[in-house]
A and B are shown apart, each in its own frame.
Chain A
Amino acid sequence: MKTIYVDNNATTQVAPEVFEAMKPFLQDVYGNPSSMHFKGGEAQEAMVDAREKVAAVVGASPDEIVFTSCGTESDNAAILGTLESHPEKRHIISTRVEHPAVWTLCKHLEKKGYRVTMLSVDREGRLDLDELRATISDDTALVSIMYANNETGVIFPIEEIGQIVKSRAIPFHTDAVQVVGKIPLDMRKSTVDMLSFSGHKLHAPKGIGVLYIRKGTKFSPFLIGGHQEKGRRGGTENIPYIVGLGKACELAARHLEEENNKARSLRDKLEGGLLERIPDTLVNGDREHRLPNTVSVSFEYVEGESILLMLSNLGICASSGSACTSGSLEPSHVLRAMGIPFTAAHGSIRFSLSIYNTEEDIDYILEQLPPIIERLREISPFWRDYIKASSKK
């Protein structure tokens, strides 16, 4: 069975070039970069090189890059590290559609006594910046707002937000896990103080993340230990993965535009094809401001997990915001925050593409998915009722 992998916002396949670049560091080049001997020197040199490449992809200077273990660690380090540096301030601003790495942490901090404002979004998943202006105060320790949403792909106006936040001299963090390698970023021209991203979303392996910290930003380390990462994160550096991430960033920077155009045109073909072939299908989120590789669609009156398993039997890997897929009982907090009706939220499917997808992949999905939806609608008690009701109108 061939594999059609369209779940790249969950994770990506490791690029063959990345794997090749990592290999020596899992074999002969095993030194600890802190060591004084030549084995340490080899590792150190590779790390310096990788750090430059990683910095380049976001337009940062290498000493503003801190390597972490994953996106979640980067988010936790940014938020907790900032709060620790501003102990007198007790207010945090974030959004209702954040990834759990930020969302759950904010909920946790709320229980610990922080005042947390979760900004709401409209039906298209857009923020109301007036709400931000109204809630930001001298007590605000940090504003943390994601760059783009993992479920819908909706991109927030980060620089516009940043200007509001910086006019009050408040630290500004953004979770850019879904963005790096997909749209161009330049921290030299940005209002962002801290930016998180993760290797496995851009064809490096799982287990490596990055926190960009602008020079001069007050920060206390989250992992306390050795002097590594200029005292900003203890723990021996994960050299093979750092090298892999360096390679992945180099590839991403080189191919950004071309890849984007390709992913966008495949995504648009998929989206258009589904809307055309399957009745009662909606696209979730602002289509104007959206990652080029992502589309979230809802098929009314059917449930997402069933769709995913039927797709999976045909070799197609996607994901869903339905309740049943997450282990929780309610559909995704993102779709709920957007006010997507239950009829649609339970039947939402996200397709997220990468450079490795082809026209044939899209054709195959467009051929296989309509009969699946039709079949599940035949099983659904609501579909006939709905058809009957709408034919009476």
Chain B
Amino acid sequence: MWDYTEKVKDHFMNPRNVGEIENPDGFGEVGSLACGDALRLTFKLDEDRRIKDVKFKTFGCASAIASSSALTEMVKGKTLEEAEKISNRDIADYLGGLPEEKMHCSVMGREALAAAIASYRGEKVEKEEFEVICKCFGITDKEIERAVKENNLHTVEQVTHYTKAGGGCESCHPKIEAIIDKVWGEKETKPVLVKPAKGEKLTNIQRMRLIEETLEREIKPALRQDGGDLELIDIEGSKVFVALRGTCSFCPSADFTLKQYVEAKLREFVADDLSVEVKE
């Protein structure tokens, strides 16, 4: 059984503001029957452009109904600018927390609100360039990115709990992982160039630059910790020629390091067919 707070139970058993406003100022609908939950939110503004009346209809589990009910209570009397600031986290907090697996219910609340406000302003809901990442639940890269940033998510499982993405056939898990890496990797130094996907090719110049960058960023710092170093001498096709420097030049395990570390890193970051050889 889910561990719902008393407040969730209360908002589920006695939902506030159920219904649909006739001729609403704002109308937002998210989710679908297929997804297993859906929320339709309608509101009317007063003369000060504050939300005077707001109603919801929800198809979904107890936490979906409770999140919708909580949202309507939270936005009442607020201006749209104030209401817009409500995050899914705020909805969950209002309810005294939601089980991790149910956080997507609070995300659905925030999305319905955003859609309703956008409809009032006559905007289309942000139809920026997007890619559907999770085909099972129709979740886009933008939605995943936003949830990752707003809720400080670091694993695919967390993303599934918050957005449902990846909860079906699981084939999109690598893509979700890439989005997480992208969001959090922005802080770290990331290569300007990245290893191309299968079937794509780097130009010779790009390839050389990428090898250089990888040596500088991934390989040399580690060697230098042990007093070693290496120097890039030449690149011929898939052969990378280096010279060993520092302690590496007389290290008995240098061959091992060269193959197991240097070559492995280059293959990881640049191309699978690279090999490393020593040239003095």
Contact = CB atoms under 8 A, between A and B. Distances in A.
A342 B34 contact: yes
Contacts of B15: 379
Nearest to B99: A327
B61 interface: yes
A378 B62 contact: no
Question: Which of A302, A329, A342: most chain B CB closer than 10 A?
Answer: A329
Contacts of A3: none
B214 interface: no
A309 B63 CA distance: 11
A7 to B, nearest CB: 12
A309 B33 contact: no
Contact of B60 (A306, A309, A325, A378): A306
A45 B269 CA distance: 68
Contact of A382 (B12, B20, B38, B62): B38
Nearest to B38: A381
Contact of A328 (B18, B38, B167): B167
28 contacts: A301-B33, A303-B59, A303-B61, A305-B62, A306-B65, A309-B12, A310-B13, A322-B36, A322-B61, A323-B36, A324-B36, A329-B36, A329-B160, A329-B167, A342-B34, A342-B36, A343-B33, A346-B36, A346-B59, A379-B58, A379-B65, A380-B57, A380-B58, A381-B29, A381-B40, A381-B57, A381-B58, A382-B59
Contacts of A342: 33-34, 36
A322 B15 CA distance: 21
Contacts of B164: 329
Interface string A35-68: 0000000000000000000000000000000000
Contact of A329 (B2, B38, B57, B137): B137
A346 B36 CA distance: 6
Nearest to A313: B13
A311 B215 CA distance: 64
A306 B36 contact: no
B235 interface: no
A325 B33 CA distance: 16
A300 to B, nearest CB: 9
Interface of B: 2, 12-13, 15, 18, 20, 29, 33-34, 36-40, 57-62, 64-65, 101-102, 136-137, 160, 164, 167-168
**Nearest 9 CB-CB pairs, A to B?**
A329-B167, A324-B61, A305-B61, A381-B57, A381-B40, A380-B59, A342-B34, A323-B36, A346-B36
Contacts of A322: 36, 61
A368 B239 CA distance: 76
- Among B2, B18, B60, find the residue whose CB has the most chain A CB atoms closer than 10 A: B60
A330 B18 CA distance: 26
A306 B33 contact: no
B167 A303 contact: no
Interface of A: 301-306, 309-310, 313, 322-325, 327-331, 342-343, 346, 378-382, 384
Contact of B36 (A303, A378, A382): A303
Contacts of A379: 15, 18, 57-59, 65
Nearest to B169: A330
B68 to A, nearest CB: 9
Nearest to B37: A303
Contacts of A309: 12, 62
A43 B122 CA distance: 79
Given A301-B59, A381-B59, A327 B18 contact: no
Contacts of A310: 13
B37 A306 contact: no
B101 to A, nearest CB: 6
A303 B34 contact: no
A161 to B, nearest CB: 29
A329 B38 CA distance: 14
Given A306-B12, A324-B36, A342-B33, 17 more contacts: A303-B37, A303-B59, A304-B61, A305-B62, A306-B65, A327-B101, A329-B160, A330-B36, A330-B167, A342-B36, A346-B59, A378-B18, A380-B57, A380-B59, A381-B38, A381-B39, A384-B57
Contact of A302 (B12, B34, B59, B136): B59
Contacts of A346: 33, 36, 59
Contacts of B13: 310, 313
A330 B12 CA distance: 22
B60 A303 contact: yes
A280 B200 CA distance: 53
A299 to B, nearest CB: 12
A309 B57 CA distance: 18
A376 to B, nearest CB: 8
Nearest to A345: B36
Contacts of B64: 303, 324
Contacts of A329: 36, 137, 160, 164, 167-168
B246 to A, nearest CB: 45
A342 B20 CA distance: 24
A306 B61 contact: yes
Contacts of A324: 36-37, 60-61, 64, 102
A217 B160 CA distance: 44
A379 B2 CA distance: 21
B231 to A, nearest CB: 44
A363 B24 CA distance: 43
